[in-house]
Amino acid sequence: MELKATSLGKHLAQHPYNRVRLLSAGVEVSGEKHEYLIPFNQLLEIKCKRGLIWGELEFTLPDEKVVRLHGTEWQETQRFYHYLAQAWQSWSEEMSDISAQVLETLVATLRQKDEQDRWLKQSELAELQQHIKDTFSALPLPTLRLTEFDHCRALYQQCLPWLENGEEQLKKRNDAWTARMLQQHADFFATVETSPLNPAQARAVVNGEDSLLVLAGAGSGKTSVLVARAGWLLRQRQAQPQQILLLAFGRQAAEEMNERIQSRLKNDEIEARTFHALALHIIRQGSNKSPLISRLETDNTARRQLLTETWQQQCAEKKAHASGWRQWLTEELAWDVPEGDFWQNEALAQRLAGRLERWLGLMRMHGGAQAAMIADAPEAIRDRFTKRVKLMAPLLKAWKSALKEEGAIDFSGLIHQAVNLLEKGRFISPWKHILVDEFQDISPQRAALLTALRKQNRQTSLFAVGDDWQAIYRFSGAEMSLTTAFHHYFGCGDSCVLDTTYRFNERIGEVANRFIQENPHQLAKPLNSLTKGNKKAISLLPDERLEDLLNKISGYARLEERVLLLARYHHLQPTLLAKAKTRWPKLRLDFMTIHASKGQQADYVIVLGLQQGHDGFPAAARETVIEEGLLPQPEDFPDAEERRLAYVAITRAKQQVWLLYNRQQPSVFVEDFKRLGVPLLRKP
């Protein structure tokens, strides 16, 4: 059956289509030069309209596309429309039955997923949404017409939330499941650690994402969460002990973790390791070799001697090198360098030794050849960087020769070899769950090791616990963006926050939290305290009042309470501490650098050295082009890492903090703290 425009209508309409023909399951609209086939499964609506003289048919297609036929005789148009609508409706009824059956199967799949007694992952949501899209595209009816049919409407509307608001649906579903777990396993969360886990800690433990970042503020119980996570995986039979890998950055932290796991979980098969111990294990298993760790990594004297002697020999033998080093030390470091054979100056050599260690360590961590290091450096500094790398090249060569002679390997080499073995498939990871402590300290090299492990088994989950507010090791290669942009590097997943600190009071928390979050690059998060604290829980005090302060504290501090003095550098230890044992015999007094205090806590904390200038805090930038070329780029905010260091110092305290400043040359931080309402005391 077909409908044609009249001769006059065809002439006056001047439209590309003047004829329509009814097919078995569609219509064909055509003209002199154009032809358009519209299957019923693409047709959304048919309208029959009457003009002043002729009729008009309008066919609506997806994406708001409309095809029109003009200039047809009105009665003929009505008759054709009647037959067409009847055929289309009959076809639609038949197809709606098929669509309903397909949708019933889809809804059953969604219901099954929803009712599974486990966490539903982000990656599964993506698969589920793709499955819904594929199912919809396979329906004989356009999805926009499904609501027209009673037996399709409800089924279709049950699928839409997962497609259009998938994140919200997933969260709602996982929140309900989590609440059930916390209730059903309340005994576990109450007893797995010495103190019951709070709701935020427990929610982090049961979160089943492939990539989970747990932001754990100072004193929020991150170790408890790591131990409980391992216990939960065992309790739920999600892993055997040998399938759980815990990683820490230092040997002491790994040992403490092992002790805690054995004590709380009564399990000695789960082993916490350092990244270096892990790399050593991979090399032993993957190459049947047992590499020896170079004594240069542990013998500070031997290491410095090798580097300084090589440097001195280099300067003595090559005038160009001596000239290059003189320029480096005077122009970049602004050091006073003696005339003549400056490299023979013992004080200068000793002063430089620490720098040589750091620069060589960064080059070894990069792991690439000199050309690769230079290519990776920012273009703006590449020329200067190239000159410095060439000056360091003999030291790198001497280091490698010493390792070869010793038949040993250094720490950076360990990680590089382990990654290489993993990428070649010579070691297959047995771990299904990787738990990492202090994740904010991770470097690109260690991140590469994690990535290589997870490539071995795509189902391996990463449970990373850390705090970007306490990222203070950029100087040794740590890259904060691996935490702040966690999912960019480690895949889709989830983030959660441990929102309660058990260490400091609300007043200390208020000042510390506002101070650190002035840097917009830090992740915003809540951190609530259990106790109030008074306005003087944190205060500013002139540094000449230190002895008066210790006198006062000695009058009320209990025997078991600890007083911790913190400074930016070890050599800033106050001389009056030499008489502390006799002057304040019952005062439990300790001194350490702020970096060393990470992970420590005390009842009372005294932060020293808030001054400008030499040995000031914040420290003046002391990076050379080597650091600029090999370290992660710092965020664009003044004193960003020094600000985090101050945050670490403040948050060691349980009860009270005194910030000791220099009245003649106060630190820029003093003004920041005053602006945040920290009182300025004249005396303790």
Q: What is the CA radius of gyration of the chain?
A: 35
> Mind listing the pLDDT tens digit for each residue in 116-169?
999 999 999 999 999 999 999 999 999 999 999 999 999 999 999 999 999 999
The stretch 30-50 carries a mean pLDDT of 92
> Mind listing the pLDDT tens digit for each residue in 262-313?
999 999 899 899 999 999 999 999 998 889 999 999 999 999 999 999 999 9
Going 141 to 144 to 147 to 148, the CA torsion angle's sign is negative
The stretch 493-521 carries a mean pLDDT of 97
Confidence band of 16 (pLDDT split at 50, 70, 90): confident
* Structure confidence at residue 13 (pLDDT): 59
The stretch 2-11 carries a mean pLDDT of 78
Question: Are 584 and 554 within 8 A, CB to CB?
Answer: yes
Q: Please determine, for residue 4, whether its predicted confidence score (pLDDT) is greater than 80.
A: yes
> Which tokens sit at 300?
């500070």
* Structure confidence at residue 621 (pLDDT): 79
Question: Are 658 and 549 within 8 A, CB to CB?
Answer: yes
Confidence band of 189 (pLDDT split at 50, 70, 90): very high
Kindly report the backbone phi and psi dihedral angles of residue 2, in degrees, each rounded to the nearest multiple of 5, phi listed first. Answer: -145, 165
Q: By C-alpha distance, which of 614, 632, 611 is closest to 622?
A: 614
Amino acid (one-letter) located at 483: T
Kindly give the pairing relationship between strand 461-466 and strand 433-436. Answer: parallel
> Mind listing the pLDDT tens digit for each residue in 334-387?
899 999 999 999 999 999 999 999 999 999 998 878 899 999 999 999 999 999
> Is residue 257 within a helix (H) or strand (E), and if so which, with residue range?
helix 251-265
Q: Please determine, for residue 620, whether its predicted confidence score (pLDDT) is greater than 90.
A: no
Q: Please determine, for residue 517, whether its predicted confidence score (pLDDT) is greater than 90.
A: yes
* Structure confidence at residue 257 (pLDDT): 95
The stretch 393-422 carries a mean pLDDT of 95
> Mind listing the pLDDT tens digit for each residue in 555-606?
999 999 999 999 999 999 999 999 999 999 999 999 999 999 999 999 999 9
Rounded distance, CA 12 to CA 23, Å? 27
pTM, full prediction: 0.89
* Structure confidence at residue 429 (pLDDT): 94
Q: Where are the alpha helices (DSSP H) in 288-345?
A: 300-317, 319-327
Count of all residues that appear for the chain in the document? 684
Q: Please determine, for residue 71, whether its predicted confidence score (pLDDT) is greater than 90.
A: no
Rounded distance, CA 78 to CA 322, Å? 99
> Mind listing the pLDDT tens digit for each residue in 315-325?
999 999 999 99
The per-residue pLDDT of the chain, averaged, comes to 94
Percent of the chain with pLDDT over 90: 89
Rounded distance, CA 554 to CA 255, Å? 34
* Structure confidence at residue 614 (pLDDT): 84
| 3-state SS assignment for residue 388 | helix
Q: Please determine, for residue 52, whether its predicted confidence score (pLDDT) is greater than 90.
A: no
Q: How far is CA 206 from CA 125, 257, 538, in A?
A: 18, 20, 36
pLDDT greater at residue 232 or residue 51 = 232
> Which tokens sit at 427?
């070691």
Rounded distance, CA 121 to CA 129, Å? 12
Question: Are 590 and 602 within 8 A, CB to CB?
Answer: yes
* Structure confidence at residue 18 (pLDDT): 84
Rounded distance, CA 294 to CA 411, Å? 8
Q: By C-alpha distance, which of 65, 68, 62, 63 is closest to 27?
A: 68
Residues 6+ apart with CB under 8 A from 192: 224, 227, 228, 231, 232, 264, 265
- What the chain holds in terms of domains, given with CATH numbers, is 1-184 (2.30.29.30), 197-291+424-501 (3.40.50.300), 295-409 (no CATH), 527-675 (3.40.50.300)
Q: How far is CA 63 from CA 43, 44, 144, 540, in A?
A: 11, 10, 11, 66
